[in-house]
């Protein structure tokens, strides 16, 4: 609330389009990937060396977008849109896998098959037998309004721990 003497114009504080863009972006509620793995991290056995692991994020507006928000002040309105460009997965064994989009959700009928969009195969045991998996969503954000426009990026990371095991076989005897 601003008080001014009678008959005097009200001075409205000016907000820049860039400040409004930051406000719109902060209202998007973007979040890091909601990590989903097959086999799941809470499985008693985890991943097995030589077998495919599927990687994806749960699909919500905040994790896969696109998300659009608008902010206004006085006669200036700015609209910002965030789009998920890719997710970079650090698999805990020194490998990074870049996947465009959210990945494909695993279903039991695809057991043993590699993911068509985002997966990894462990080739060796990891230190301590548990891989620290980090998923970083790479967002592209465009905004325009008030005679201005701009582009920026944002990275948000989440983590999970996935046991990695090895299956060993031993053949004894043989055909007689």
| Per-domain boundaries in the chain | 17-165
Handedness of CA 142, 145, 150, 152 (dihedral sign): negative
Q: How many CB atoms lie within 10 A of CB 24?
A: 24
pLDDT for 3: 61
pLDDT for 155: 98
Please check whether residue 26 is in contact with residue 141, taking contact to mean a CB–CB distance below 8 angstroms: no
Q: 124 φ, ψ to 5°?
A: -145, 165
Per-residue pLDDT of the chain (176 residues; tens, 9 = 90+): 556 677 676 655 578 999 999 999 999 999 999 999 999 988 878 899 999 999 999 999 999 999 999 999 989 999 999 999 999 999 999 999 999 999 999 999 998 899 999 999 999 999 889 999 999 999 999 999 999 999 999 999 999 999 999 887 777 776 66
CB-hemisphere CA count at 13 Å for 53? Answer: 29
């Amino acid at each position: 609330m601003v008080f001014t003497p009678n008959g005097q114009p009200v001075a409205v504080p000016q907000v820049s389009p860039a400040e409004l863009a930051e406000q719109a972006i902060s209202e998007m509620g973007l979040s890091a990937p909601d990590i989903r793995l097959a086999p799941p991290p809470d499985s008693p056995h985890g991943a097995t060396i030589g077998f495919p692991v599927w990687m994806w994020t749960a699909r919500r507006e905040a994790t896969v977008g696109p998300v659009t928000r608008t902010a206004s002040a006085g006669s200036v309105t700015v609209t910002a849109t965030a789009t998920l460009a890719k997710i970079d997965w650090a698999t805990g064994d020194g490998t990074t896998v870049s996947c465009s989009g959210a990945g494909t959700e695993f279903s039991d009928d695809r057991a043993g098959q590699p993911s068509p969009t985002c997966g990894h195969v462990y080739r060796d045991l990891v230190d301590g037998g548990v891989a620290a998996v980090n998923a970083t969503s790479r967002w592209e954000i465009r905004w325009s309004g008030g005679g201005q426009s701009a582009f920026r990026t944002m990275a948000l990371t989440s983590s999970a721990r996935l046991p990695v095991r090895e299956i060993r076989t031993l053949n004894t005897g043989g055909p007689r």
